[in-house]
A and B are shown apart, each in its own frame.
Chain A
Amino acid sequence: MKPNTTTGIAGLRRWAGTAPGRMLAIGSALLTLATPQTWASSHSDAPLIKQDPQVNLTDVYTFVRQRPSGERVLVVEVSVRPFSEPGDGVIYDRFADDAEYNIHIANPVTGATLQQYTFRFSDHDAVKAPGLKNPNTILSYGLGTELGPILTVGDARQNYTQTYSVSRIMPDRTRPGRRHPGNRPGDITSLGKNLLVPPPNVGMRTTPPYNDPETGRAVSGATSRETLDTYTRETTYDLPGGVTVFAGPREDGFFADTPGIFDLLDSRILDNNGSLADGLGQDGAGVDGFKGFNVLHYGIVIPLSQLPSIAYTGALQPAATGVGVFATVGRPRVVLFPSRMSASSFVQVNRLGNPLFNEVLVALGSKDLYNRTLPTTDASTFARFAENPEVATLINTVFSTTFPTTGRGDLKAVYIPDVIRVNTTTGPVPVQGEEGFSRLSFIGGDVVEDGNGNMVPSGWPNGRRFGDDVVDIALTAVASGPTFETITVVGDNVPANDQVYNRTFPYAATPHAGTRHQKDSGVNAPIVIE
């Protein structure tokens, strides 16, 4: 189960028309690509977005860290394109070239966007793509104008190289978009152009820097910029203005026994032996449904000094100050009878804030609606799903438990409006592999002091880190709230990701190698002594 997301152009429409920083060339590509209207979210959150994987957001991660200089920053990383096959030869997965991928810094109370960072990617077209060096080969990677392993991103051996631009949009509800940089409402600032996307992890022979020369498997877990592999280091850009960005293929950092959860709460999730009369337990290990898959990934590091600070009441935080974070993706808006260019040129097809909201709490009939709307209307449209979680009813029905199914103000505090609220008055939080990190966040005693001297969760629901076991945290919250006087730990027995994360930006792990990776775990795993 995962959060779901949509990207947002609908949002743009509301802010009296800020046009995106760099309009896509509305050419033949766009007209022929009459994309079905899709709305997406976590891996499989809603019916329509499921049809449009390239813009299907899977996870948003956001947390406070510190640069080596001591400057405190907010990290936001977004995964998209679920279940990318590492060995998906010839083309491999690329970002959609006609979509805009957005990160929203929002008001944590209302969900209204205060700053929007937009990523736009270059063309795929084999004939016209400026990123293609050699159209007369079957190899996208390993043979451009030269044959051999890719040594640096975009070199003569990387036949196809996608590029992207990043801009910051300051929304303005009252005035039409003005096309010049700045921090006033309506301003659009170009932060970077022609930035390179690193190649996919084809394997040891084509993309050796990603992999361990001995095993051919992806190497991950860098602790500093210097120790990142060549490709990732070269494509982690410190842009003028103080932000750092990355976009490219990464390992899917989510882990959960989603297959079991959606098989009518397979006995391995909460029951143990097919007998429903004996409580919550689980046989053996869960199955990580995301093991061995990659995603596409885009992220940004923003100095806290450039972010607004807004007081809010968060989950387990009576007096917090910070921002809300969510992500959206938009597809081009097709105008049939243009009298004049529409103010908004993208339609939001996917939205994602907190993990699991659209996927697990929002009912099927409303999932697509979630993806087309913005957090500002969550309170009126979706609050009921958080306050009366059907998942609690389901668990109660299947397992004869008595978890509270109504009046769940605790879940509403996490999910409504559906932006990940981050307290930006804390010091840097520990990430997996550092002392103090617990996958259970506050339940595991992993807390950090905020600016008021209060201890607040280091991980979700205060921000969300790579490695936060959001399924266990959410199920435990469903089972223990609204009072938390007795915490009942519930989970899916998948406690960790199948790859070690980086401890530096980008925190998402090195993508699995096409030629060496393993997908099956738990009962699906081959019976070998590892």
Chain B
Amino acid sequence: MSASPLSLLILAAAAIAGLTAWSAYFPAAPATRAPAPPDEISLPPAVTPRTALPDAMALLEIIPPSSPDSKTDLLLQERQILTARHPTRAELWVQLGDALAQKQRETQLPVWHDRAEAAYQKAQQIEPATVAALNGLAWVYGSRHDFQESVRWAKLALDLDPANPISHGIMGDAALELGDLERAAESYQAMLDARPDMSSYSRAAYLVWMKGDVKKGRWLMQKAIDAGSPHPENVAWCRTRLAMMLFNEGALLPAGQVVAEGLKQTPDHVPLLLLLGKIKLAQRDEKAATAAFESVLKSGENHDALVGLGDLHLIHGRTDLAESFFTRLEKQHRLNAAQGIHDHTQMARFYADHDRELDRALQFAQEHAQTQNVYEADTLAWVCYQKGDLKLARKAIETALRAGTPDAEIFYHAGLIAAALNDRPGAQKLLSRALSLNPHFHPLHSTKALKKLDELARTLTVKN
């Protein structure tokens, strides 16, 4: 099934928000609030000022030289030549934007967002009713987490082409990120009905998984992989997601098989390598885990790889070594913040997982104090628990649990919060659920979950 490059690119847009592979959860449970009126998603204020076109065009002038063995780079080169030759043809600017967007997916660098935006803006300037350009802009803003702008552009596209699958996909992505799973389902359904392909299957797969239907999620993700894409990176991403679903069911062997298959085709795919590290860590094959994380770091600093290696040393009590990785992580985080890369939730989670810098963690997590997004709510709850704010922790974890997302970490956090609130049976149930789901859910915390269960059992020992 062929799809326009953009439809492939926008696959799992949220993944781009600096959240990599297995830690990328952006969806959330629908709140039990009054449904939004049709066409109205309650949106947070815009977070990104729009780039002024002249500045953006200047960026296009300085695209770095391409690498001849990258298909994406060759495509990019080709399209740059075409736009230079025919600067008044809007569709060529859209195609250039699509290539730049794919580049962003592969490098995760925000500068490519700006370049893609410039190309799409140029197309829209030439021909205001270019649906593909409107979709492109909607994608750019969505992947910067500026959902208000993203939805605005997607709606403009839908006004022109009400069944456009890409516009529906982007609308769904925004809803998913904001935790409105019902609305995401409507948009994804419209997308599936318009074009069943890798883009729509993979979105639907992730959504049903978020809502707790693991087997259907896996089946749809497999369909996405089978449907394929001209960009190997897109298929690799789907495999990462499928393997992540298996990992979350505790099925380490099949998860490893899916990752191995993916690495055969795309040996350098960072999310796959990170997940490989995580699986190997769970299997206590530390040599292989180290190799996987280190191979990621060869191409630059990476949050999950640094945390993975740090945790590996922590398990063995090598705190100094662990600390060296965490110092690098902090440094990277500062650089990211300077570059406008949005990784606060990830960082807050790291702090809470390692019981450090909790004030900063709370500051980060509270950026999402009103969130309905599962991952953000879970992080907020976890940070609040570590800080001792049980009231807020409880409220946030209830949001995180609402959809029934089959992620052991959420149940673990919920179990600890329940225990702190003296709900012993509830805590036992939640912790057991976490461990039944995936006994290896976290390199440091799965053993803590076992210990906590023991503790609860001991307090339960009836005085005979």
Contacts and interface: CB of A to CB of B under 8 A. Distances in A.
Q: Is B truly associated with A?
A: yes
Interface in B435-460: 435-437, 439-440, 446-447, 450, 453-454, 457-458, 460
Most chain A beta-carbon neighbours within 10 Å: one of B214, B453, B464: B464
B450 A434 contact: yes
Contact of A445 (B215, B223, B283, B432): B283
Interface string B193-227: 00000000000000010001111111110110000
A496 B432 contact: yes
A219 interface: yes
B232 interface: no
A220 B214 CA distance: 30
Contact of B215 (A209, A272, A432, A439): A272
Given A213-B462, A444-B251, A436 B439 contact: yes
A283 B436 CA distance: 19
Contact of A209 (B246, B440, B464): B464
A157 to B, nearest CB: 15
A309 interface: no
Interface in B223-274: 223, 246, 249-254, 257
Contacts of A488: 254
Contacts of B446: 435
Nearest to B450: A435
B453 A433 contact: yes
A40 to B, nearest CB: 29
B389 to A, nearest CB: 22
Given A279-B219, A439-B250, A439-B436, A211 B213 contact: no
B461 interface: yes
Interface size range of chain A in the complex: 35 or more
B307 interface: no
Contacts of A210: 462
Contacts of A438: 250, 252, 439-440
B448 to A, nearest CB: 11
B433 interface: yes
Nearest to B208: A281
A278 interface: yes
Contacts of A272: 213, 215-216
Interface string A414-427: 00000000000000
A440 B250 contact: yes
A407 B346 CA distance: 49
B437 A444 contact: no
A500 B457 contact: yes
Contacts of A281: 208, 213, 215-220
B253 A445 contact: yes
B253 A215 contact: no
A485 B447 CA distance: 31
A25 to B, nearest CB: 36
A23 interface: no
A278 B454 contact: no
Interface in B392-443: 404, 425-426, 428-429, 432-433, 435-437, 439-440
Contacts of A485: 257
Contacts of A230: 464
B439 A437 contact: yes
Interface in A439-477: 439-440, 442-446, 467
Contact of B426 (A270, A491, A530): A530
Contacts of A242: none
Contact of A217 (B246, B425, B433, B464): B425
Given A209-B462, A444-B439, A489-B249, A223 B457 contact: yes
Interface in B367-388: none
A280 B215 contact: yes
A383 to B, nearest CB: 27
Contact of A500 (B215, B219, B252, B428): B428
B219 A487 contact: no
Contact of B462 (A211, A443, A490, A500): A211
A282 B250 contact: no
Given A281-B215, A442-B253, A495-B437, A221 B457 contact: yes
B457 A443 contact: no
Interface string A12-48: 0000000000000000000000000000000000000
B257 A486 contact: yes
B96 to A, nearest CB: 38
A520 interface: no
Interface string B270-289: 00000000000011000000
A71 interface: no
Contact of A283 (B213, B220, B457, B458): B213
Contacts of B246: 489
B253 A443 contact: yes
A85 interface: no
B218 A282 contact: no
B215 A444 contact: no
Contacts of B214: 282, 493
Given A439-B250, A445-B253, A208 B215 contact: no
Given A208-B462, A278-B219, A438-B439, A445 B282 contact: yes
A487 B253 contact: yes
Nearest to A491: B215
A301 interface: no
B450 A433 contact: yes
A223 B218 CA distance: 37
A443 B461 contact: no
Contacts of B212: 284-285
A217 B425 CA distance: 10
A112 to B, nearest CB: 34
Interface in A286-334: none
A155 interface: no
B464 A444 contact: no
A212 interface: yes
A229 interface: yes
A227 interface: yes
Contacts of A432: 435-436
A219 B439 contact: no
B215 A282 contact: yes
A217 B282 CA distance: 35
Contacts of A467: 436
Contacts of B428: 221, 500
Most chain B beta-carbon neighbours within 10 Å: one of A217, A229, A443, A485: A443
Most chain A beta-carbon neighbours within 10 Å: one of B215, B216, B453, B457: B215
Most chain B beta-carbon neighbours within 10 Å: one of A217, A278, A280, A438: A438
Most chain A beta-carbon neighbours within 10 Å: one of B220, B251, B283: B251
Contacts of B437: 495
Contact of A487 (B223, B251, B454, B464): B251
Nearest to B454: A223
Contacts of B217: 281
B218 A489 contact: yes
A530 B433 CA distance: 14
B436 A496 contact: yes
A530 B428 CA distance: 13
A49 interface: no
Counting from the closest, the 7 A-B pairs by CB-CB distance are: A281-B216, A445-B252, A279-B219, A487-B254, A496-B436, A230-B464, A281-B215
22 contacts: A209-B462, A209-B464, A219-B460, A219-B462, A227-B458, A230-B464, A233-B464, A270-B215, A279-B222, A279-B223, A282-B213, A284-B212, A432-B436, A433-B450, A436-B439, A438-B440, A439-B250, A440-B249, A444-B250, A445-B283, A489-B249, A496-B436
Given A445-B283, A487-B257, 20 more contacts: A211-B462, A219-B462, A223-B458, A272-B216, A279-B219, A281-B219, A282-B213, A282-B215, A284-B213, A435-B446, A435-B447, A440-B249, A443-B251, A444-B250, A444-B439, A445-B253, A487-B253, A500-B428, A500-B457, A530-B429
Interface of B: 208, 212-220, 222-223, 246, 249-254, 257, 282-283, 404, 425-426, 428-429, 432-433, 435-437, 439-440, 446-447, 450, 453-454, 457-458, 460-462, 464
